[in-house]
């Protein structure tokens, strides 16, 4: 009998003046934190440090400070100290409370709106310190100023009392201590020392004469009495401490980026000059490589998405190199001009601009919008780079020849890419023969397991979920793309199959919307060869499919190392520690003779003798046998084991690949996979003792 579906009328909601919610104070920040710090994940968490540090750095940029310290304290607290002027503590005429409280508890309040406080600064919205305060369960500011020592404390953006003077001080500066609110940062409030060090190292290059110290005091067990002390590093605390101080500025930063690379010209180009009231500083050097390393800053704020200053530089660089090449007969009349991509290949460049009135796109300041920066950069760079090429003709010739090589390679790569894609089109865009595709056409539900070897590939095909899981076996090690151009790369059958399977093309025709799988899972053996193949694949994705990594589509499978069977009970261990945790405090012996663990790992059956140490009770040897199987590769598993441990979404362990610090990742890939042997050899010798080699 059919039943009639009764549609319910939507509930009517009154919408009037009372429906309009007015958020007071710092409530908007806690309501929508992503608007102010980008996210509430690890990036947003670390952004809190950058906001407080930027205030101290701005003091240094304007000549009022030369030392900043960032200390990681227990309980995920951060302490930032500078020796600047100290935040004013006198009563503000409009707010009727101290200037310190105004800055810390009011949005859009600060000394960077065009007054006499700062000539150049990274802040422009006046929300940095107040946002950190709003998103912290505890925040405390100590000010050393005018011979006094002042303090005020806050909780979730609200002051716990008035500013108090608690003594005299011979120092000047500001100390800000805060603890992120776990209610806001649900993914965790643990800071990464490596990320803090990387970011602040970069800042030290950008401000000549500024000393930046990072102290990791999280493991310090004794009570840290830092109140009233200016710097933790001066207390001689035994904990990891790093200090950066550079006089070379951007030239030193370019040298740092090119540490593991081979320059094609010795002289690093450098210019620092002001035009149209914009300070411009640029350093560049070409290396024997195909990648481009470009770091851009506006008032020392990293602008990852570029902006007007980058546009001005790129336009001027392309125009100048083509003009010089034609003037000196290196480019003939019939030759094509070098494109922007051609002149950028192999370039390492740092661009820094400083403006009094600065305009970013968004509070996170990822892109510069100030139009005057474009013409200023173009003017300053054009004048200086023209002189550089005239005074260094050998360097200029090497740079142009590098561009010509890129031009020829670009044409060859286009032909190879067109050939691959055209072949696919002629065959109805047929997928690689080795690919066992899934039935689903929805990329969000589809997974591609990139498996090492035909044996593991065959097992994975038998054990997979055919609806959502596709399998692409690789035969051996793929080409090292760090050392190969696109045309040669696409000549590799393995890489060509991977490109076709992904379905998003490559190079300038890449379209992330056409990626056929939103989980690309690298599944290799847990040995040295497997690690090498995994590194080669990660290099491929990083160099040619970086947007896929940024989108969170790339994963690494974690197959178990051991299968442990006791009677009918089966456990899997993913490390030696897990194996010992499962087996417990038992002595494993062979019934007939003593057996080494290596023999047991190969699958020999053994009796278990157990001793309960806590009760000092000896237990009679059990007849139950324990069997430990050590997996050397995925191919040693049967289809049920591979499904249960590595492929089943309910039980598997996947590691999502992400890139927090692109510059550092770039240096590591270049060192490990590039053509220079020296840096790689030095790295291996330095870290040889800590290597875990499965022989």
Choose the catalytic residue: 529, 571, 601, 610: 529
The DSSP code sequence of 280-300 is EEEEEEEBSSS--EEEEEETT
Per-residue pLDDT averaged across 395-408, rounded?
92
The gap from C-alpha 163 to its chain's centroid, in whole angstroms, comes to 39
Residue among 43, 179, 272, 527 flagged as catalytic: 527
Q: How far apart are CA 522 and CA 300, in angstroms?
A: 38
Residue 587 among the catalytic residues: no
Task: Return the axis-axis angle of helices 250-257 and 193-206, rounded to nearest 10°.
Answer: 140
pLDDT at 125: 39
pLDDT at 427 exceeding the cut of 60: no
Catalytic residue list contains 525: yes
CB atoms within 10 A of CB 637: 22
Distance CA 451, CA 459 (A): 10
Q: Are strands 301-302 and 293-298 parallel, antiparallel or unpaired?
A: antiparallel
Spatial neighbors of 689 by CB under 8 A, at least 6 apart, are none
User: Is 588 a residue whose pLDDT tops 60?
Assistant: no
What is the rounded distance in angstroms from the CA atom of residue 674 to the CA atom of residue 482? 6
Q: Which is the catalytic residue, given 76, 525, 604, 644?
A: 525
Q: Which two tokens stand for residue 188?
A: 């965790």
Q: How confident is the model at residue 425 (pLDDT cuts 50, 70, 90)?
A: very low
**pTM of the complete model:** 0.65
Q: Is 445 one of the catalytic residues?
A: no
Q: Report how far residue 133's alpha carbon sits from residue 316's, in angstroms, rounded to the nearest whole number.
A: 43
Of the candidate ranges 11-15, 294-298, 344-348, 549-553, the one whose mean pLDDT is the lowest? 11-15
Mark 638-666 as b/e (b = at least 16 C-beta within 10 Å).
eeebbbbbbbeeeebebeebeeebebbbb
What digits encode the pLDDT tens for the residues 145-164?
999 999 999 999 999 999 99
Domains and CATH numbers, the chain: 27-244 (3.30.565.10), 250-410 (3.30.230.10), 431-559+654-674 (3.40.50.670), 562-630 (no CATH)
The two tokens of residue 109 are 């309040």
What is the DSSP code (8-state) at residue 368? B
Neighbour-count burial of 253, counting CB atoms closer than 10 A to its CB (0-12 exposed, 13-18 middle, 19+ buried):
buried
CA 458 to CA 455: how far, in whole Å? 5
Q: Tell me the pLDDT band of 38, cut-offs 50, 70 and 90.
A: confident
Condensed to tens digits (0 to 9), the pLDDT of residues 94-140 reads: 878 899 998 999 886 555 434 455 556 554 433 589 999 999 999 99
335 is catalytic: no
Between 42-56, 112-126, 410-424, the lowest mean confidence (pLDDT) is in 112-126
Distance CA 220, CA 229 (A): 17
452, 644, 666, 670: the active-site residue? 452
> Pairing between strand 469-474 and 447-452?
parallel
């Amino acid at each position: 009998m059919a039943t009639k579906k009764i549609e319910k009328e939507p509930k009517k909601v009154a919408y009037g003046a009372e429906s309009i919610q007015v958020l007071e104070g710092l409530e908007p920040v806690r309501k929508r934190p992503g608007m102010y710090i980008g996210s509430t994940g690890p990036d947003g968490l670390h952004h809190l440090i950058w906001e407080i540090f930027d205030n101290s750095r701005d003091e240094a940029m304007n000549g009022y400070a030369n030392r900043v310290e960032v200390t990681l304290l227990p309980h995920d607290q951060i302490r930032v100290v500078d020796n600047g002027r100290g935040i004013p503590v006198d009563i503000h005429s409009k707010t009727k409370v101290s200037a310190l409280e105004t800055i810390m508890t009011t949005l859009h309040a600060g000394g960077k709106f065009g007054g006499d406080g700062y000539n150049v600064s990274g802040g422009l919205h006046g929300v940095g310190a107040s946002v950190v305060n709003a998103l912290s369960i505890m925040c405390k500011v100590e000010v050393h100023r005018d011979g006094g020592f002042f303090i005020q404390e806050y909780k979730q953006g609200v002051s716990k009392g008035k500013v108090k003077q608690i003594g005299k001080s011979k120092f000047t500066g500001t100390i800000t201590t805060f603890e992120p609110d776990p209610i806001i940062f649900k993914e965790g409030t643990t800071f990464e020392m490596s990320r803090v060090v990387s970011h602040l190292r970069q800042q030290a290059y950008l401000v000549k004469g500024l000393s930046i110290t990072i102290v990791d005091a999280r493991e310090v067990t004794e009570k840290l009495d830092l109140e009233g002390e200016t710097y933790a590093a001066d207390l001689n605390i035994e904990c990891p401490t790093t200090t950066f101080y550079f006089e070379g500025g951007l030239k030193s930063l370019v040298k740092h980026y090119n540490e593991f690379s081979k320059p094609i010209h010795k002289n690093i180009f450098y210019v620092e000059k002001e035009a149209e009231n914009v300070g411009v500083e640029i350093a560049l050097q070409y290396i024997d490589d195909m990648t481009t390393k470009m770091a851009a800053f506006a008032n020392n704020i990293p602008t990852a998405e570029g902006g007007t200053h980058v546009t001005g530089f790129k336009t001027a660089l392309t125009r100048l190199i083509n003009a010089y090449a034609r003037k000196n007969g290196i480019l003939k009349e019939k030759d094509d001009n070098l494109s922007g991509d051609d002149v950028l290949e192999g370039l390492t460049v740092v661009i820094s601009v400083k403006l009094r009135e600065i305009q970013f796109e968004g509070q996170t300041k990822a892109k510069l919008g100030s139009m005057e920066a474009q013409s200023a950069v173009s003017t300053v760079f054009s004048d200086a780079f023209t002189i550089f090429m005239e005074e260094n003709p050998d360097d200029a010739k090497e740079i142009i020849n590098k561009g010509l090589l890129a031009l020829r390679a670009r044409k060859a790569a286009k032909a190879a890419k067109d050939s691959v894609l055209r072949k696919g089109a002629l065959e109805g865009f047929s997928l690689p023969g080795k690919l066992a595709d899934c039935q689903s056409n929805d990329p969000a539900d589809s997974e591609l397991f990139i498996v090492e070897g035909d044996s593991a590939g065959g097992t994975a095909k038998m054990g997979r979920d055919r609806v959502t899981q596709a399998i692409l076996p690789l035969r051996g090690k793929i080409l090292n793309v760090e050392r190969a151009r696109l045309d040669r790369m696409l000549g590799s059958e393995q890489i060509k199959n991977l490109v076709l399977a992904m379905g998003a093309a490559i190079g300038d025709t890449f379209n992330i919307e056409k990626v056929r799988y939103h989980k690309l899972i690298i599944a290799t053996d847990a040995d040295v060869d497997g690690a090498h193949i995994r590194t080669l694949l990660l290099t491929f994705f990083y160099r040619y499919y970086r947007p896929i990594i940024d989108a969170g589509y790339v994963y690494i499978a974690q197959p178990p190392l051991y299968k442990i069977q006791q009677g009918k009970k089966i456990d899997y261990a993913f490390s030696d520690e897990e194996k010992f945790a499962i087996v417990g405090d038992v002595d494993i012996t062979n019934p007939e003779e003593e057996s080494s663990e290596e023999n047991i790992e190969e699958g020999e059956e053994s009796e278990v003798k157990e001793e309960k140490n806590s009760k000092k009770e000896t237990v009679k040897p059990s007849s139950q046998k324990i069997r430990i199987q050590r997996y050397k590769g995925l191919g040693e598993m049967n289809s049920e084991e591979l499904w249960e441990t590595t492929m089943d979404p309910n039980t598997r362990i996947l590691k999502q690949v992400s890139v927090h610090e692109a510059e550092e990742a770039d240096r590591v890939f270049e060192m490990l996979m590039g053509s220079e042997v020296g840096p790689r050899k030095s790295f291996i010798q330095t870290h040889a003792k800590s290597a875990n080699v499965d022989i």
